[in-house]
Structure 1
Amino acid sequence: MAQTRIFGYDLVRAVAMFFVVAVHCRVVVDTGTTVGLLWFIACGTVFLSGNALFFIMSGKFNLRERDGEGALKGFYRSKARNILVPVLVYFAIRSVFDLRGDLQSVGQVASYFVHGTLSDFAGTEYWFVFTLCGFLLVAPFLARMFAHMPDSEAKAFIGIGIGFNAVLTVLDNMGIGFSWSYLFSGFAFAFCLGVLIDRFGGNSRVRKALKLLALVCFFVNVAVQYAGFSTYAVEVSPLYTVMAVGIYVALLDLGEKIPRFRLVSFVAKHSFGIYLCHMMVLYAIQPFFMFDQGISTIAVHGLFAVVVFAASTVLAWLIDSTAVKGAKALFDAVANRIAPNKAA
């Protein structure tokens, strides 16, 4: 039986995906003016929260304790089918796209695909895939840890993560080296927050406070970046993390109040595909939007983001409905022959 989709999470996925597209479309903004520079920084501050939003939601749905015979195998099988298979399909398409001007042979594409899948694509917007898959590998084990963690320890975990990232951010922006490490550094902390927000964010007062803090953190983050303190500002800075959590909570609450829009759920359903193909769309049409300078490029940015987002949604739907669907069917056939799915 198919599970009913919760619209609030669809809204988070759709908005976060638009954020990801919009932040990459900033390339058309003229930062030579004060207004343009402020727009570039402000947009980056908001839109780059899309990274944290996706990691938070991934933690929310993957850091759940699963019991029963075959639970671990079923988890990895599900992730291979729904994450790895689409990734490989889109990586193959991206390989052809990148070589389009010098495409010579199938072997050339295969070599490019293999090297990209193993390493090279990690230097592109696909870094998210490489990071997420690492988190998913350990998710079942972390899930047990968080499921049996007392509230006092969970609060300490949050405090340590915020504190470590605060020290790292402040010292690096002061030009002081800081080489101490933390296991849950980078977006690993945001991934873990996904399961802790439900635990501590159910209270209406807490949620209101998080929304207000998100607004405050946004303005402070823009100000410090404009002043030149930009290292980790949109990655692990506590200002960024708290803002992202506030946006996440605000979108979930909004999803409970507004009507269910089919378009939002459609975008959410294909959000992973949109992410995997949007830069190909952007590269293809960017030359048509590089025709202006000055403050007017702000309007061009908005139009560019909408066009890329719409075109990427259509392209993702086409690829998901054909190549990805076929690859998943092949995966199911092979996997069922090797190890029948008892839950099917």
Structure 2
Amino acid sequence: GQADPGSLAPYARYYYKRFVSLIVPYLLYAGGMGFVAYLVIDHRSVGGAVSGTLFDLFSGYDDSVYWFVFMLAGFVLATPFLAAMMRTIGRSGAWLLVGLAAAVAAAEHICDLVGYPLTFLQSFPWRGLLIYYLLGFVLEYYPPSARIRRGVYALAPFALAWTVATPYLFAGQQMQVGRTLTVAFAMVVMATFLFFRYDVHITSARVRKAIIWLAGYSYTIYLVHSPLSKVLIGPRIPVPTDGWSYAGISVLMFGATLLAALLFAVIADTVVLKPVQRLL
């Protein structure tokens, strides 16, 4: 017979598959990586490393390795309901939702600039990522027209150039720099996604195989890129002196971090993550 449309079995399978085979192993993986980092990098005792790892787990500190796992868990939890909502509200409603999220982010930013921070919004740790999460759904379910995509492609190089100018336009304003860079990078990422999703069709089997192989390590790369760049690579990169050196050093930093994270991911996933996933 046909499956009961009101059954919770599909949701149970979805959450079991993702939480047991994805979230739990990454949680253990992140905890182990944080523990080793406290021992090796911070030179803490075993007890100090344990306390630091537990503090990261329960504090929600946004620069800990756990934060990425919790963020993924939240997105996994919301995806079935958000996907259904996107289909229900249609194209106009979905883009309106993205617009509202962008308006809230802009209002928070403007209020910060004039000295009236919206503290009730600042208590929501993932507010900065919400618009990008919604945007990802909308771009997948309701892609923009070819004309709009070409407009995004035209703006992307300017957004990339803006990342070079931002640290000098807002010198000493780290929060302003961070937010401006986030918006600029979002434009570049959106253009890249649209270009390869809708306007480029890869026919080479080798290229597709390479992309699939790299995608298998993508989340581990995402998980470790921040501590690697800040602790191991960043201190060894020269300080930029002008816009051009900033651009060159940014490219160097990106390449070095990507290669280091990929090497780490290949070794660590083979030794740690995949055996844990097989056990679960």
TM bin (shorter chain): 0.7 to 0.9
Partner of 1:313: 262
Which string of whole-angstrom CA distances, capped at 9 and with x for unpartnered residues, describes residues 76-123 of structure 1? 212221133123213212212222264544x55444333222226533
- Structure 2 equivalent of residue 152 of structure 1: 92
Q: Distance in 1 between matches of 2:181 and 2:65?
A: 15
Q: How does 1:71-82 map to 2 (within 5 A)?
A: 71-80=10-19, 81-82=21-22
- Paired with 1:223 and 1:281, the residues of 2 have a C-alpha distance of 25
Of the three residues 118, 133, 137, the one matched with 2:73 is 133
1:336 corresponds to:
none
Structure with more of its chain in helix, by fraction: 2
Number of the residue aligned with 2:148: 206
1:46 match: none
1:166 corresponds, among 95, 106, 114, to 106
Identical positions, percent? 21
Residue type of the partner of 1:124? S
Return the structure number with greater relative CO, CA threshold 8 A, min gap 6.
1
Q: Partners of 2:29 and 2:192 in 1: how far apart?
A: 32
Cα pair 1:207 1:249 within 8 Å, conserved: yes
Structure-1 residue corresponding to 2:54 = 114
| Structure 1 residues 286 and 189: alpha-carbon distance in aligned structure 2, compared to 1, 3 A threshold | closer
- 1:252 corresponds in structure 2 to 197
Long gaps (5+) in structure 2: 171-175
Q: CA deviation at 1:270?
A: 0.4
Q: Cα distance 1:310–1:137, how it changes in 2: closer, same or farther (>3 A)?
A: same
* Structure-2 change in CA distance of 1:308 and 1:213 (3 Å): closer
Q: One-letter code of the match for 1:88?
A: L
SS at match of 2:29: helix
Deviation string, structure 1 residues 123-156 (Cα, Å, up to 9, x no partner): 3365333333223223322222222113332232
Partner of 2:27: 87
Aligned residues: 262
Alpha carbons of 1:275 and 1:245: their partners in 2 closer, same or farther (altered >3 Å)? Answer: closer
What is the CA–CA distance in structure 2 between the aligned matches of 1:72 and 1:155, rounded to whole Å?
Answer: 26
Q: Could you tell me which amino acid in structure 2 is paired with residue 82 of structure 1? A: L
Contact between 2:25 and 2:273, CA under 8 Å: does it hold in 1?
A: yes
Alpha-carbon RMSD: 3.6
Cα distance in 2 between the residues matched to 1:253 and 1:313: 27
The TM-score with structure 1 as length reference comes to 0.62
| Superposition pairs of residues 255-294 of structure 1, within 5 angstroms | 255-257=200-202, 259=204, 260-261=206-207, 262-279=209-226, 281-282=228-229, 283-284=231-232, 289-290=236-237, 294=241
Deviations 1:191-242 (A, max 9, x none): 122221133325322321222233444456765664325463234x5x6654
Range with bigger deviation, 293-302 or 260-269? 293-302
